[in-house]
Structure 1
Amino acid sequence: MKPRFLTGLLSLLMPAMVLAGEYDLTVDRVKN
């Protein structure tokens, strides 16, 4: 595993996790 590959993977995963969290919050708001 190359450090650069891991860094790239993290840079892709972090925004995805943030977007998923915001989506979950929005869904909770809509349900309530």
Structure 2
Amino acid sequence: MDLQHQHHHWRNRYLLMRHGHSQANQQGVIV
């Protein structure tokens, strides 16, 4: 397992989740 890649993957996932959540909040939708 490539730990560096794993870390990068979870970081991207976290950022995407935050971005999606903020977009949903603007529309009044809870993710």
In the superposition, the TM-score normalised over structure 1's length comes to 0.70
Higher relative contact order (CA 8 A, sep 6+): 2
Structure 2 unmatched runs, 5+: none
Structure 1 unmatched runs, 5+: none
The higher radius of gyration belongs to 1
Q: How many residues align?
A: 29
Which runs of structure 1 show a deviation greater than 3 angstroms over 4 or more consecutive aligned residues?
none
Query: Percent of pairs identical after alignment?
Result: 7
In the superposition, the TM-score normalised over structure 2's length comes to 0.72
RMSD: 1.9
